[in-house]
Structure 1
Amino acid sequence: MADLGFSWEIRKNGDVVILHRGKRATTLRGGKASDFLDLAESGDGDAVQQELARLTGNYKRGNERHAKGHPRNA
C-alpha cells in the first residue's frame, strides 16, 4: 500500500498533532492520543496510515466505485 501522506508529531504535553501533506489535520488528546501511540509503536506503517486517515475523516466515503466510471475520470 502506498503512503497516504500522513505524519504526526508528539507535543510536550502528550498531544499528538496529525499532519496531512505537511498541514495540520487534527489534534489527538488524552486517551485517543495514547491509543494512537500504542498503534504507532507496533511498527505496521500501513495500519498507522489507515488509522490516521480514519481519525482525520479523510477516508473512503462510499462513492469511489461510482466516481471511477464517471466521464470526467475516464
Structure 2
Amino acid sequence: MGRQADGFEYVERADGTVVITHHGRPAGTLRGARVAEFLAEVADDPQLVMARWTGNYRRGNERQARQHPRNRG
C-alpha cells in the first residue's frame, strides 16, 4: 500500500489521492493529474522525490551555502 524511505512514507487512498507523511506527520496531499506524475517519479529514488514534492529538500544546507565564496557578496 505505502512505501517508506528514510522518514518519508506515502499512501495511495481509494479516492485517488496520495498522502505523503514525514515521520508520521502529514507533509502533503496530491490529487488529480499530480498523482500520476508523482507515482511515475517515485519509483526512481523515493526519498529524494518525496522530499522535493513536499518542499523539504533544502533543510540543513542553507548555512553552508551562505559561507560559500560566491555567495558572500
TM-score by length of 1: 0.68
Count of residues in correspondence between the two structures? 62
Give the residue type in structure 1 aligned to 2:10. W
Please list every run of 5 or more consecutive structure 1 residues that lacks an aligned counterpart in the other structure: 68-74
* Poorly superposed stretches of 4+, deviation over 3 Å: none
- Alignment correspondent of 1:70: none
- Alignment correspondent of 1:55: 53
Indicate the structure whose relative CO is greater, using CA pairs within 8 Å and at least 6 residues apart.
1
TM-score by length of 2: 0.69
Give the residue type in structure 2 aligned to 1:25. A
- Alignment correspondent of 1:35: 37
Please list every run of 5 or more consecutive structure 2 residues that lacks an aligned counterpart in the other structure: 67-73
> Can you list the C-alpha shifts for 1:21-73, whole angstroms capped at 9, x where unaligned?
11111101111111111223x3x3xx111010011111115514158xxxxxx
Q: How does 1:17-32 map to 2 (within 5 A)?
A: 17-32=19-34
Aligned identity (percent) is 41
